[in-house]
């Protein structure tokens, strides 16, 4: 399996609940476990500002490029601004774009050890997400002739930015299954939203997921984006669901098998993960990629 990764994803954001070192740890773990070999790893190009502008406003892009975000902008983004931060996330957007291009070209599953920045809106960044990489990659695919795309977002937090971007666009089916009473407070309507009650466990989660996926497939996507967030984990600091490590892996299998059975190109991005022990977050992400490489 091809995976996209860059060491530039390791951005210094100081003491923070978001462990930017997880990317490096997942990459190293996948190599150590023999899930991928060095030659499977592709280092992405930095996404062009014009590609970012397929989703984001020119005003916002100028502010984040030039470092003229207001203190309110920074508070909403919840990341300290630096040229290195902006560059790191631009490369990460490039990773999702390249993963999508490869998945469609080879009709295969491609993993991105990064991405899933689903809280970014056209005119602002939010919740550790400066740019909406999945939305941008979808627009790039559509520019290249792909018509219908679907997003399966299983991060514990609602994919508010993605839902907003495609709210009135019937060519993109957005499915989010998340914890209802958690950030973000305002949840723009996606094509299919399932807001879960606090603390639900593996069996209930799997059942609701299996019931929802036929609606995603019925939208006839030509490519599927899977946000395999690690934060539905019972030990997550920013999540309130009760999934176990095995339960998360079974979740991944349900989604990946669905794409595989239908011969659907698929892009897997990591999205969130804030377990008390970073090793647990890394283990969830590694297990996702193992399922994909199976």
Binding mask 154-183 for Zn ion (x = CB under 5 A): -x-x--------------------------
Binding mask 193-212 for Zn ion (x = CB under 5 A): --------------------
* Nearest approach, Cβ of residue 254 and Zn ion (Å): 19
- With respect to Zn ion, which residue has the nearer C-beta, 133 or 231? 231
- The reply on whether position 236 binds Zn ion by CB under 5 A is no
* Nearest approach, Cβ of residue 168 and Zn ion (Å): 25
* Nearest approach, Cβ of residue 264 and Zn ion (Å): 24
Can you give the three-state secondary structure of the chain, one letter per residue?
CCEECCHHHCCCCCCCCCCCCHHHHHHHHHHHCCCCCHHHEECCCCCCHHHHCCCCCHHHHHHHHHCCCCHHHHHHHCCCCCHHHHHHHHHHHHHHHHHHHHHHHHCCEEEECCCCCCCCECCECECCECCCHHHHHHHHHHHCCCCCEEEEECCCCCCHHHHHHCCCCCCEEEEEEEECCCCCCCCCCCCEEEEECCCCCHHHHHHHHHHHHHHHHCCCCCEEEEECCCCCECCECCCCCCECHHHHHHHHHHHHHHHHHCCCCEEEECCCCCECCHHHHHHHHHHHHHHHHC
How many residues interact with Zn ion (rule CB under 5 A)?
Answer: 4
* Nearest approach, Cβ of residue 104 and Zn ion (Å): 26
Binding mask 112-151 for Zn ion (x = CB under 5 A): ----------------------------------------
- With respect to Zn ion, which residue has the nearer C-beta, 81 or 233? 233
Residue from 231, 236, 252, 291 touching Zn ion (CB under 5 A): that is 231
Q: Which stretch binds Zn ion (CB under 5 A): 96-104, 146-154, 176-184, 227-235?
A: 227-235
Contact set with Zn ion (CB under 5 A): 155, 157, 231, 272
């Amino acid at each position: 399996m091809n995976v996209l990764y860059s060491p530039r994803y390791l951005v210094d954001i100081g003491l923070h609940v978001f462990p930017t070192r997880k990317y490096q740890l997942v990459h190293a773990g996948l190599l150590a476990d023999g899930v991928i070999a060095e030659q499977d790893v592709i280092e992405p190009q930095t996404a062009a500002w014009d590609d970012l502008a397929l989703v984001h406003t020119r005003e916002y892009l100028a502010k984040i490029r030039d470092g003229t975000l207001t203190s309110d902008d920074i508070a909403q983004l919840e990341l300290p601004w630096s040229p290195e931060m902006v560059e790191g996330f631009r490369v990460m957007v490039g990773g999702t774009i390249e993963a999508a291009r490869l998945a469609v070209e080879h009709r295969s599953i491609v993993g991105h050890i990064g991405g899933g920045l689903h809280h970014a809106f056209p005119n602002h960044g939010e919740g550790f997400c400066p740019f909406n990489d999945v939305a941008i990659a979808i627009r790039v695919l559509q520019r290249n002739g792909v018509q219908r795309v679907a997003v399966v977002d299983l991060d514990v937090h609602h994919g508010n930015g993605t839902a907003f971007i495609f709210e009135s666009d019937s060519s993109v089916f957005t499915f989010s299954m998340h914890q209802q009473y958690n950030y973000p407070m305002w949840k723009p309507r996606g094509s299919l939203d399932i807001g879960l009650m606090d603390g639900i466990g593996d069996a209930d989660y799997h059942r609701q997921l299996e019931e929802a996926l036929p609606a995603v497939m019925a939208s006839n996507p030509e490519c599927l984006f899977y946000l395999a967030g690690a934060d539905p984990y019972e030990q997550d600091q920013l999540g309130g669901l009760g999934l176990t490590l095995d339960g998360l892996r079974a979740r991944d299998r349900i989604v990946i098998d669905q794409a595989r059975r239908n011969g659907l190109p698929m892009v897997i991005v990591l999205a969130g993960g804030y377990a008390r022990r970073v090793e647990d977050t890394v283990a969830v992400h590694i297990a996702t990629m193992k399922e994909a490489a199976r």
